[in-house]
Structure formats: C-alpha cells, structure tokens
Amino acid sequence: MVEAFTLHEDPRSGNCYKIRLTAALLGLPLATRAYDIMRGETRTPEFLARVNPNGRIPVLQIGEGSAARFLPESNAACWYLAHGSVLIPQDRFAQADMLRWMFFEQYSHEPNIATLRFWLRFVGEANLSAEQRGQMMAKRVAGCAALDLMNRHLAATAFFSGEAVTLADIALFPYTHVAEEGGFGLGDYPHILAWIARVQALPGFIPMP
C-alpha cells in the first residue's frame, strides 16, 4: 500500500527540513502544509487537538481524512520515512550508533545551535527577554562543544555512522550548515565543512527552503 505523506511545517525550521531532505533523498512524494510559528499558528486549539498536543512542528501526517495518523518529532518522522531504506544501516551496532548521533543532535546540538539561530535570526537580539539573554553564553559554549566533537569525529569518517549517509547525517545537517546564522563560525571546523559539501553533493539533495 502506498501511503500519502503530508508535512506540517514552518519552512524556516531546520527540524522540518530534516523530513523534506529524507523524503527527497528517498524519492518519496511529500505534500506540505505551512504554519507561521511566530504567529502562534501551532498553538491553536485545532492544532493541539488534531495535529500535535505539544504545539510544535514538524509533524508528519500519514494518510488522509479520518484515517490520518500524526507523528511529531523530527527524528521519529525521518525514521518512519526511511524504514527499510539505505538511510538506516542493517548492522545492529551501526544502527545504534546512528541513533546515538540522533540523540546527540536533540540533546547537545539543536537546543544550543538552533535556539541561538532562532533568537538571533528570527526574534532579533534586541527583542530577547532577560532570561534568554542570560542563557546565550551557556548555549554558545555548549554549541561550540558540539561542533568540536563533530569535527573531531569527522576527521576519521566520511559520514557520521561510517562511509555512507544515514539519518544521523540528515538529523545533524540542517542546523549545522546554517550555524553561522546563530553566530557560530564554521571556519575552525574543516572536517564539518567537508562533510557539508559531501551531503550537498548527494543525489536527490535539496537545499533548505
């Protein structure tokens, strides 16, 4: 059975781009429905009741109408799309190692690099709350530590979980390649820059909207 996929997204979001990129690399058709998170469009009673009670995008909708199912969390959605494909290694250790980088992305990378990008590029430094300003330095230090770890890892391997692209690369690519928008210079991380070029050269690659 061929499933219909719809991505509920804000096109500015790197978390949403992960799902677009997974679908593109696998040649899967993906419809989209756009929301403006700056206007609170994912916090309406309708969105919370039908799409995601957590009030956030991305959400992958599988199927249509009354049979539709909704899957929040970017990396879970990528996993669903990539199930049984070359983007998930077969080997047990390699699969767990891929998940390790996807968990790293959610805990050590995205909360620092993506959040600073959002604050600086979309909210604007002048509009940040005192609490947000107070968190900036810690996020910059933690974001640099994440980039440094990635750079050291990529010195010895072409992609995060070995010599072929996996979901680990798709999870880490979106916010890394625009990290400079959050004030993270990438010039000190040559292995990350080489990896970005490798991802961009993949057949089926699409840029972030």
Ligand X SMILES: N[C@@H](CCC(=O)N[C@@H](CS)C(=O)NCC(=O)O)C(=O)O
Query: Judged by CB, which is closer to ligand X: 73, or 97?
Result: 73
Residue 172 Cα to chain centre, angstroms? 6
Instruction: Report the alpha-carbon distance of residue 147 to residue 9 in Å, rounded.
Output: 26
- Cα dihedral: 183, 184, 190, 194 (round 10): -80
Per-residue x/- track, 100-119, ligand X (CB under 6 A): ------x-------------
Tell me the closest approach of the beta carbon of residue 75 to ligand X, in angstroms.
6
What DSSP state is assigned to residue 90? S
> Using CB under 6 A, which of 5, 15, 112, 175 touches ligand X?
15
> With the C-alpha atoms ordered 76, 196, 94, 3, is the resulting torsion angle positive or negative?
positive
Which of 67-75, 87-95, 146-154, 199-207 is the region at the interface with ligand X (rule: CB under 6 A)? 67-75
Binding flag, residue 74, ligand X (CB under 6 A): yes
Instruction: Report the alpha-carbon distance of residue 176 to residue 77 in Å, rounded.
Output: 19
**# binding residues, ligand X (CB under 6 A):** 13
Where on the phi/psi map is residue 65: left (φ > 0), alpha (ψ -120 to 50), or beta? left
> Using CB under 6 A, which of 33, 43, 100, 133 touches ligand X?
43
Q: Which stretches does DSSP call E strand in the chain? A: 5-9, 31-34, 59-62, 69-72
> Using CB under 6 A, which of 42, 61, 166, 176 touches ligand X?
42
Tell me the closest approach of the beta carbon of residue 7 to ligand X, in angstroms.
11
Binding flag, residue 57, ligand X (CB under 6 A): yes
Of residues 29, 31, 27, 32, the one with CA closest to residue 86: 27
Tell me the closest approach of the beta carbon of residue 2 to ligand X, in angstroms.
25
> Using CB under 6 A, which of 30, 32, 55, 202 touches ligand X?
55
**Contacts with ligand X, residue ranges (CB under 6 A):** 13, 15, 37, 42-43, 55-58, 73-75, 106
